[in-house]
Amino acid sequence: MTRGAGALDLVGRHVVVSAGGTREYLDPVRFLGNRSSGLQGYALARSAAARGAHVTLVAANVTLPDPAGVTVVRVETTSELREAMLAAAGEADAVVMAAAPADFRPTSTSEAKIKKAADGSAPAVHLEQNPDILAELSRERRRAKQVVVGFAAETGDETGSVLELGRAKLARKGCDLLVVNDVSGGAVFGAADNAVVILSTDGEATEVARASKSDVSHAIWDQVARRFVM
Ligand code: CTP
Ligand code: CA
């Protein structure tokens, strides 16, 4: 079967992709967030649509234009992202968590803007962990034979190499595929290209040499499409 750009192997499939980075508000004007641009998630949505899929894109704080022919749902916080993903996953053949959810949120959000204290002191910020959406989607499988895909940006450390950490994360999350990004050489945020390894639960590791985020997306859909016919 033809794969990659130009294939129409996702016709009749519904896929849900998350993109961007969530924000957790301290008050009406301030938030904790991250530098995810949404480029990889948007490229995934565009390439799936090009291969014939019906695509829902859940976008967290992304400023890119809506991809043509894709249903876009906008969210801001990790809780909103979770709600939107769980709702959309009910109809989905594949779910891809390309978004970067904030891992923590303030335990409370002030309704009024936090003012500076006259004595020069700074307020303490108390955080709690956000729910793990990918783990929940993987555990619940909202639809039979659904393929669940996660992303991981790793640097490797004293506990393991990038791939070892990726394997451990794949097992911990319970997803079918994990797209691992080696970010030790510097940030990839906002970059036009990317180099990844796609780990699968059957022990395979598919290397995608530095390529455009569109080409990386097609390599990911190749792996998802293979699982559809397995
Ligand atoms: N993810 C998620 N919900 C969260 C955090 C992460 O669904 N609250 C998803 C991301 O979208 C990504 C995958 O989990 O697909 C891995 O994200 P990552 O930040 O690498 O994993 P964490 O479990 O947050 O671990 P770490 O401590 O390394 O940040
Ligand atoms: Ca994280």
Residues 59-86: pLDDT tens digits? 999 999 999 999 999 999 999 999 999 9
CA of 164 to the centre of ligand 2 (A): 17
Q: Beta strands 71-75 and 54-60: pairing type?
A: parallel
DSSP β-bridge partners for residue 198: 179, 206
Pocket test for ligand 1, best of 97, 163, 197 (most atoms within 8 A of CB): 97
Kindly list the catalytic residues: 34
CA of 214 to the centre of ligand 2 (A): 24
CA dist 194 and 209 (Å) reads: 8
DSSP 66: P
DSSP 112: S
Spatial CB neighbours of 54, under 8 Å, sequence gap ≥ 6: 13, 14, 15
Q: What is the ipTM of this complex?
A: 0.99
Spatial CB neighbours of 4, under 8 Å, sequence gap ≥ 6: 218, 219, 222
HSE, side-chain direction, 13 A CA sphere, residue 215 = 11
pLDDT truncated to tens, each residue of the chain (230 aa)?
457 878 899 999 999 999 999 999 999 999 999 989 999 999 999 999 999 999 999 999 999 999 999 999 999 999 999 999 999 999 999 999 999 999 999 999 999 999 999 999 999 999 999 999 999 999 999 888 999 999 999 988 999 899 999 999 999 999 999 999 988 876 566 777 888 999 999 999 999 999 999 999 999 999 999 999 87
Quick one: which ligand is closest to 100's CA?
1
CA of 121 to the centre of ligand 1 (A): 33
Residues annotated in a binding site for CTP = 103, 113, 131-134, 151, 169, 173
Using CB distances shorter than 6 Å, the residues near ligand 1 are: 78, 97, 99, 101, 103, 130, 132-134, 150-152
Q: 178 and 198 in contact (C-beta within 8 Å)?
A: yes
Q: Is the whole-model pTM more than 0.90? A: yes
**Could you read off the pLDDT of 4-42 as tens digits, one per residue?**
878 899 999 999 999 999 999 999 999 999 989 999 999
Quick one: which ligand is closest to 172's CA?
1
